[in-house]
Amino acid sequence: MAKFTPCISRNACNEDGTYCRACGRSHEEIQATRALTSHLTDFIKQMEYENPDDFLTYLQRKVEKKLK
């Protein structure tokens, strides 16, 4: 099992090689995370949630439950 390491900043993340030297994640993982973030953001906007924090907390609980 791998430990998630967030990017320090988008400017620190490099594009050469297979892995980012700043955060250590693969460029494939970084792209997939960006796509997931965009999809969730678009969904929140589409639903016009005025409380996105509550929605994200709900998702966190659901995902954690499914991972157990």
**Domain residue ranges of the chain, discontinuous segments joined by +:** 8-68
Q: pLDDT tens digits, residue range 5-59?
A: 888 776 667 667 788 888 888 889 989 999 999 999 999 999 999 999 999 999 9
pLDDT of residue 33: 92
Structure tokens at 44: 């929140």
- Residues 55, 56, 58, 63, CA torsion sign: positive
What is the reported pTM? Answer: 0.81
CA 63 from centroid of its chain's CA atoms? 13
Tell me how far CA of residue 56 lies from CA of 3, 22, 46, 59, in angstroms: 21, 27, 15, 5
With CA atoms as reference, report the closest residue to 52 among 40, 66, 65: 40
